[in-house]
Structure 1
């Protein structure tokens, strides 16, 4: 989980990606510009009621500001599974941000807005507020303040929404959405990847495919030469590396079975990145054989 958080934070730390996420998902308009953002705190320190100093960590945060004032503190929290108590956790993050304003010498106050990105294949429908997790007697409910959160299911975003992204987050959103549907084909995604290492690392962690580790150095070197890197480049390197791995494993089980086993090994290496149809075409296997590898 910690490794996933790190890769998510890495990509979102780029201001163009951070602004893009908020403009498309939260504000649904071009409200924030990249140059209006500056890095915010990921660790908040505050004094608890008993007098002890405590701290909390959030995934990514940036100040949205004009030339004079901070207009807001925007935060992103990344989740890989549904977390029941997250409204309380978000309350904690937001409170410490407000508390730091109280403790500062500046008398001006600005809002704190936190967005939750769900990267799992399970649609997040609840909890979406404090009311969703509290067992409140009906007579007490009018006296209990609610606390709502903003959650977006990345793997369930429509194509119409995904096409609005202008940063590398479109590449990531397309990957998660189409991978969930089993239709992902990198040959249909020829967009240039700007933050190559960050995108590569995020996908590697979420697919648990160690082949990404093997292609990372080569991909980064190609990017340094000025080559345009796309998801097709990833797939090409994955296929080539998969063939090499398959050949090495094939030798171990004997030349007679080696060719067939090579193809099976290559196909297995590609299950988390390509659709069954694309794998069957690239590796020259029957589609039913590829589908059987998923069972």
Structure 2
């Protein structure tokens, strides 16, 4: 099989296609930036260029460190989405009680500029769930 960085990429995509639960490869990647650009083109996904890669304990970047960075971005995105959904839910409850934007912002210790677009969507689409409102805002 390939011995270069391309071999690491090929191994990853083969294992992914075969449905492996975990895809581990601890071989050091010599040309990490070029490899991420290649994966970006091959996977048609710009997010690979936005990864904040950290070297492993041996001071190398491996496929595992790349996948850890991808997973970390997903976790951060999920946390942010969860916080936003919670905020939308609270705004919905308070708006249904007739609270104003100013009161809601004060109660939730948020700026009115954050609450206002949510409040407007909640008023415009009162039957929507917090996920529906989230989708409309994004």
Q: TM-score, normalised by structure 1?
A: 0.26
Q: Is residue 2:73 matched to residue 1:248?
A: no
CA distance in 2, matches of 1:256, 1:172: 41
Structure 2 unaligned runs (5+)? 90-138
**CA root-mean-square deviation:** 2.6
Q: Is residue 2:18 matched to residue 1:205?
A: no
Whose helix fraction is larger, Structure 1's or Structure 2's? 2
Q: Is the 8 A contact 1:193 1:229 kept in 2?
A: yes
Match of 2:4 among 151, 167, 181: 167
Cα distance, 1:254 vs structure 2: 1.6
Matched residues, number: 87
Cα distance, 1:214 vs structure 2: 2.4
CA distance in 1, matches of 2:44, 2:85: 25
Cα distance, 1:190 vs structure 2: 0.8
| Counterpart in the other structure of 2:107 | none
| Counterpart in the other structure of 1:46 | none
> Larger radius of gyration, structure 1 or 2?
1
Structure 1 unaligned runs (5+)? 1-161, 258-295
Cα distance, 1:232 vs structure 2: 0.6
Structure 1 residues 209 and 175, CA gap change in structure 2 (3 angstroms): same
CA distance in 2, matches of 1:205, 1:184: 24
CA distance in 2, matches of 1:256, 1:231: 37
Whose strand fraction is larger, Structure 1's or Structure 2's? 1
Instruction: Give 3-state SS (helix, strand or coil) of 1:186's partner.
Output: coil
Cα distance, 1:180 vs structure 2: 1.8
> Which structure has the higher relative contact order (CA within 8 Å, separation 6+)?
2
Q: TM-score, normalised by structure 2?
A: 0.53
